[in-house]
Structure 1
Amino acid sequence: MKNLRIQPERDIAQVEREEPFTFSFEEQPVTAYPGETIGAALIAAGILTFRTTRKAGKPRGIFCGIGVCFDCLLVVNGRPNVRACMTPARPNMLVKVQVGAGERCYEN
């Protein structure tokens, strides 16, 4: 996965971060920092598709980033319709792309 985070030597704001942790997205580890949303961590990892639309199966990701739209819905720990832009990342979360209305979370 890509790392789109600003590297410390180029960080003119000198943001201090706590220790990173990982969660899984589609069975791949993603690094996050305390206080980040799932959406922020996924974008930093270069992941832009969070769900597909119900009828056409078109990819969707962060659009508004403030919880108004529904483009960033994910399945988190088996629960569908979780907004990536509003949900804090937590260690060891199991995050998956939401297919349609979340039917995939019910698969065995």
Structure 2
Amino acid sequence: MSEHMVFAQANASDWIELAPGNRRRVLIHTPELMQVEFGFDKGAVGALHSHPHIQVSYVAEGSFEVTIDGVTEVVGQGGSFIVPSGLVHGVVALEAGRLVDVFTPMRADFL
């Protein structure tokens, strides 16, 4: 992918298996911004972690138990959440689902 993408077609990038039932694909990015889709099977876990990037997540499908900085809430389809820089966060898929995450700056570790 070019560093200066302005369009990305559906299925232009491949899924990468991260853990059982948990996969991701980078959809589009510039050095300042990145959009990533995560797919989860029911019960799959996005393990607790932190990073310096600001993250905003949209629940495109399913329902997730989301923990940010020790606070847990269930977020369903159509809902969103923001993870400020450096806070520990993770998810558990309460049903099969998809998250669309946006990071600033882009996650070079995902390329």
Do they superpose with TM above 0.5?
no
So what's the TM-score if we normalise by structure 1?
Answer: 0.34
Whichever of the two has the greater Rg, that structure is 1
So what's the TM-score if we normalise by structure 2?
Answer: 0.33
Q: 1 or 2, which has the higher helix percentage?
A: 1
Q: 1 or 2, which has the higher strand percentage?
A: 2
